[in-house]
Amino acid sequence: MEKEQRIAWEAQCIQEEPPACSTTCPLHVDVRQFMKEMAEGHVNEAYKVLRKNLPFVGILGRICTHPCETKCRRGEVGGALAIGSLERFCVEHYGSPDRVKLLPRKSKTVAVVGGDVAGLVAAHDLRKKGYGVSLLEAGNQLGQSFREYSEDMLPGSVIEEELGALKDMKVDVRFGVTLDAAAFEALCTEFDAVFVDRTSSECASLPLEKDNDGLIGVDPITGGTSCPGVFAGGKEGEVPIMLAADGRKGALSIERFLQQAHMTIGRENDGPYETRLYTNLEGIAPLDRVRCADPDVGYTLGEAVQEATRCIQCECMECVKVCQYLAHYKKYPKKYIRQFFNNEKVLLGAAHSSNQTINSCTNCGLCAEVCPNDLHMGEVCLEGRHAMLQGDYMPPSAHEFALQDMEFSTSDEFVTCRHQPGTQQSAYLYFPSCQLSATAPAEVLESYRLLCENLSGGVGILLGCCGAPAYWSGREALFRETLKTIHQQWQAMGKPEVITACCTCQSVFSEHLPDIPTKPLWQIMENDALIDNACREKDSGKTIAVVDPCSSRYDSEIQNGVRRILGNLGFALEELPLSGELAECCGYGGLVFNANPKLDNAIVTRRAGESERDYLAYCAMCRDKFVHVGKRTAHLIELLFPSVSGNDPWARGWLSWSERRKNRRRVKDELLVNLGETVEHTVEPYEKIVLHIDPELLRTLDSRRILESDLRQVVFHAEQTCKRLRHNQSGMFRANLKIGNTTFWVDYAPEDGGYRIHNAYCHRMNVTGVK
Amino acid sequence: MKFSEEEIQNWKCETCGEGLVMRKVEFSYMKGSFHAELPACPKCGLVLITEELAMGKMAEAEKALEDK
């Protein structure tokens, strides 16, 4: 991941953007955090949150005109939070201000002219930053405009106490200072910078350029005046919080000026601004503002806490809400992106702390669909997988099994490309997919027969794999090579229109082989005349839940077409919580089933519980994965060709990985037989071994990704070499063999001319020496 | 990893006809290596890795090396 890419992706994730209340506040008080503390009854902590951004918190906390409330999102569901009243409650009930912590004293000094709100805040902020500050006031007291409030609203004692902080901070306050042009120029020489409070009576006599209103003219971003090093802010008639923001702006500018830093860069959000944070209010019940029992007294603690609990704690988290993977690792995209980047570029993969996280995304794209900025974590994770492969720290266990399965589907064991029997050309090319052939071989053959009978111009067939596993695992070269082969086969067949029966293949074709015209099988099957009447009566009136595969997300034509077919068949449909454009992945996508079986299982188990109804899938992997966790699920192709197997499609059980391969081989063999070709297989000697395996054990071995061919190879090797252990009492053998990167151990004993498998397990660790 | 005497005594290397004895066995995986005391044939060095070890400690170690 390059730095520019990281920055661009991070910018798309807006979870860390401050909420509207904070960005509307001229001083950016963290209102959300304040509310959180208040809701928990932590008034002390809430006070600290206010003090962090508000100077003279006891004053501003009482008199702020709370513009934040106008943008409070709670206002759209109930009423805006009483932020102003809660602030008042907090500063009234929490004691006097603590000592302001000052940064170490700096050598530079600043003069502040005018001791009202803007001047006071500028003096406070600059002194806090460590500068020596002299505050020059023409009158004989500070904070004139604070003194115009009623005693109820802002007691005089509070003003004295709060402004007393300046004395503690060792601000040099001078009263009765009047300035003429000469005195001002002397001031500019004596001090390194000057801030002028434009509400001060001295302004008129200062030798600074004035604007149309007769005020000292200032740069809108910096508050800089016509004289370098002199900054000004504040305006008669402004509300105190805006005046305070002007003072703060001046202090920031003076700091930059004295540090010789850039004056304007990165200051877009100095004052109030529109937040980029998105907060979905759907499902939030309206709640009215809590009223004070006694308006003269204001909120009691109980009322204040109750009011603060109305805060919805604005955040985005749209993707995390719908993605079990993102929720599982307890972060949000911006954090993941930073973590992946650091893993790759800072730790150089050495700590590979994110490997499993990067490999656990299904690449389904639901995050991008719900993200206000279309951030696609699948793309982020795919990039991460490329980097892992490039840096040679991709764990072999993550994708090896899936890639071996793909290797089978792109080998002669399955790959076949033929014109329709009896023809020499193809107007269409049926691409039923490796996974549909694996789960429904008879239905694939039957659907091919139907296509041949009903479409004119010849329907060829291409058995193979679209390469999605290579793509998901980050094996870019293998993916390109797979696409190239498909493209060549398609060209050799005379560039026919490809009929797909798998949504993943369909999306691979449209995205990566755009010159190949495609049509989903389901679109053809929408022609009611093609549907056998026997299909309709069987389940008429049954209500089922449709499982849209994640790869159909942007293909509403397929999604709607499937629903029309199901309607034609007489089913009533129930929609799952997330479907259509919000379709979820079953866990096969991104090869998560291989890289993180635990998460994969958790995803499919949760999804299986989303409806009591039987599920109807039109992705082979969805069908098999739901069935694997015990959910009654049928594939659409089984409903369209029910006579094929004679079984109840809703009750058909799980399939082992070995069986899946056998089924693919079967599709190829039967196809060749139909074409009158002789079927030849080179049979390895070990393949002739007969195994006896208890069904329950078979399921365990399948979950360990141990294939029957692995068992046969181990047994064959042990029988040939006698390299094995023998159990003294039972006579059972225990043998091992390393196949590829995995060492398989098998407990077995001869039985009925074959071998009884008692157990098998495997590991990837290699024995490199015995001492 | 502890092995019971019984477990070790139950197995014999078929080729060598020997009972198993505890030996220091070296392992490696993904740029990591370590060793453990495991039962093995004293003659040919055929090591016994039990299901418990393969699916437990070894699997954990593999995972740790893959995703430190």
CA separation (Å) from A322 to A132, A313, A733? Answer: 54, 19, 49
Q: Do A726 and B47 touch (CB under 8 A)?
A: no
Name every residue in A having a CB less than 8 A away from some CB of B.
351-353, 355-356, 393, 395-398, 721-729, 733-734, 736, 743, 745, 759, 761-771
Across A51-201, the runs of DSSP E, i.e. the strands, are: 109-113, 132-137, 172-175, 193-197
Non-local (6+) Cβ contacts of A608 within 8 A are A615, A626, A629, A630, A631
pLDDT tens string B30-41? 888 888 899 999
Of A500, A524, A548, the one marking the end of a domain is A524
Q: Where are the alpha helices (DSSP H) in A129-239?
A: 156-168, 181-190
Q: Residue A419: pLDDT above 60?
A: yes
Q: Measure in Å the smallest separation between the Cα of B28 and chain A Cα atoms.
A: 5
Q: Where are the alpha helices (DSSP H) in A290-358?
A: 301-308, 318-322, 324-328, 333-341, 355-358
* pLDDT at res. A355: 86
Nearest CA in chain B to A395: B66
Which two tokens mark A385?
């997988």
DSSP A720: H
**Are A73 and A81 a contacting pair, CB within 8 Å?**
no
B8 touches chain A (CB under 8 A): no
Domain presence at residue A250: no
Q: Do B54 and A722 touch (CB under 8 A)?
A: no
CA separation (Å) from B25 to A725, A767, B57? Answer: 17, 7, 14
SS3 A517: coil
Q: Do A769 and B25 touch (CB under 8 A)?
A: yes
Q: Which of A395, A728, A736 shows the shortest C-beta gap to B66? A: A395
Which two tokens mark A123?
């003096």
CB pairs under 8 A between A and B: 96
- Structural domain count, chain B: 1
Q: Residue A536: pLDDT above 80?
A: no
* pLDDT at res. A558: 95
Across A455-547, the runs of DSSP E, i.e. the strands, are: 459-463, 497-500, 518-520, 543-547
Q: Do B12 and A725 touch (CB under 8 A)?
A: yes
Question: In 3D, which of A418, A412, A404 has the Cα closest to residue A478?
Answer: A404
Q: Which of A352, A725, A770 shows the shortest C-beta gap to B45? A: A770
- Structural domain count, chain A: 6
Q: Measure in Å the smallest separation between the Cα of A734 and chain B Cα atoms.
A: 9
**Phi and psi at residue B4, in whole multiples of 5°?**
-75, 150
If asked whether residues A509 and A538 sit together in one domain, one would say no
Compute the C-alpha angle A579/A580/A581, nearest 5°. 110
Across A479-531, the runs of DSSP E, i.e. the strands, are: 497-500, 518-520
pTM confidence score = 0.88
pLDDT tens string A151-193? 999 999 999 999 999 999 999 999 999 999 999 999 999 999 9
If asked whether residues A355 and A412 sit together in one domain, one would say no
Weakest mean pLDDT among A10-14, A15-19, A96-100, A443-447: A96-100
| Residues spanned by the domain of A633 | 531-653
Give the CA count within 13 Å in the CB-facing half-sphere of A22.
Answer: 23
Q: Which of B11, B23, B33 shows the shortest C-beta gap to A770? A: B23
Domain presence at residue A630: yes
Q: Return the higher-pLDDT residue of A198 and A98.
A: A198
Note the ipTM here.
0.96
Q: What is the mean pLDDT of residues B39-56?
A: 93
**Are A643 and A532 a contacting pair, CB within 8 Å?**
yes
* pLDDT at res. B2: 55
What is the C-alpha separation between A165 and A102, in angstroms, rounded? 12
* pLDDT at res. A122: 98
For an interface test with B, give the residue of A715, A730, A748, A763 to mutate (most B CBs within 10 A). Answer: A763
Question: In 3D, which of A423, A447, A419, A453 has the Cα closest to residue A433?
Answer: A447
What is the C-alpha separation between A456 and A541, in angstroms, rounded? 34
**Chain B hits for A765, Cβ within 8 Å:** 27-29, 58, 61-62
CATH of the domain at B41: 3.10.20
Domain presence at residue A703: yes
Q: Do B15 and A396 touch (CB under 8 A)?
A: no
To which residue do tokens 């106008």 refer? A70
* pLDDT at res. B4: 66
Domain presence at residue A488: yes
Q: Residue A591: pLDDT above 70?
A: yes
**Chain A hits for B11, Cβ within 8 Å:** 725-728, 734
Q: Residue B3: pLDDT above 80?
A: no
Confidence at A623, pLDDT banded by 50, 70, 90: very high
Q: What is the mean pLDDT of residues B48-60?
A: 92
**Are A546 and A575 a contacting pair, CB within 8 Å?**
yes
Q: Do B14 and A734 touch (CB under 8 A)?
A: no
| Residues spanned by the domain of B14 | 5-66
**Phi and psi at residue A429, in whole multiples of 5°?**
-135, 110
Secondary structure string (H, E, C) spanning A622-677: HHHHHHHCCCCEEEHHHHHCCCCCCCCCCCCCCCCHHHHHHHHHHHHHHHHHHCCC
B22 touches chain A (CB under 8 A): no
Taken as a whole, chain B contains a residue count of: 68
Q: Residue A644: pLDDT above 70?
A: no
A644: number of Cβ within 10 Å: 18
Q: Residue B1: pLDDT above 70?
A: no
* pLDDT at res. A349: 64
Domain presence at residue A219: yes
* pLDDT at res. B65: 84
Q: Do B13 and A725 touch (CB under 8 A)?
A: yes
If asked whether residues A516 and A431 sit together in one domain, one would say yes
Question: In 3D, which of A681, A752, A682, A685 has the Cα closest to residue A715?
Answer: A685
Compute the C-alpha angle A438/A442/A446, nearest 5°. 125
**Are A614 and A633 a contacting pair, CB within 8 Å?**
yes
> What is the share, in percent, of chain A residues with pLDDT greater than 70?
98
Q: Do A766 and B27 touch (CB under 8 A)?
A: yes
A581: number of Cβ within 10 Å: 16
pLDDT tens string A25-69? 999 999 999 999 999 999 999 999 999 999 999 999 999 999 999
If asked whether residues A132 and A210 sit together in one domain, one would say yes
* pLDDT at res. A63: 95
Distance of alpha carbon A22 from its chain centroid, rounded?
24
Answer positive or negative: Cα dihedral of A660, A662, A666, A667.
positive
Confidence at A647, pLDDT banded by 50, 70, 90: confident
**Chain B hits for A745, Cβ within 8 Å:** 49, 51, 54
Domain presence at residue A726: yes
If asked whether residues A519 and A407 sit together in one domain, one would say yes
Exposed, middle or buried, A308 (CB in 10 Å: 0-12/13-18/19+)? buried
B57: number of Cβ within 10 Å: 14
pLDDT tens string A304-332? 999 999 999 999 999 999 999 999 999 99
For an interface test with A, give the residue of B46, B50, B60 to mutate (most A CBs within 10 A). Answer: B46
Of A509, A524, A539, the one marking the end of a domain is A524
Q: Residue A352: pLDDT above 60?
A: no
* pLDDT at res. A95: 67
Q: Which of B11, B15, B25 shows the shortest C-beta gap to A767? A: B25
Across chain A, mean pLDDT equals 94
* pLDDT at res. A29: 98
If asked whether residues A124 and A58 sit together in one domain, one would say no
Sheet holding A428-431, edge to edge: A416-418, A459-463, A428-431, A497-500, A518-520
If asked whether residues A448 and A559 sit together in one domain, one would say no
**Phi and psi at residue A463, in whole multiples of 5°?**
-95, 130
**Chain B hits for A729, Cβ within 8 Å:** 10
**Chain A hits for B66, Cβ within 8 Å:** 352, 355-356, 395, 397-398
* pLDDT at res. A371: 97
Q: Do A745 and B28 touch (CB under 8 A)?
A: no
Q: Residue A519: pLDDT above 70?
A: yes
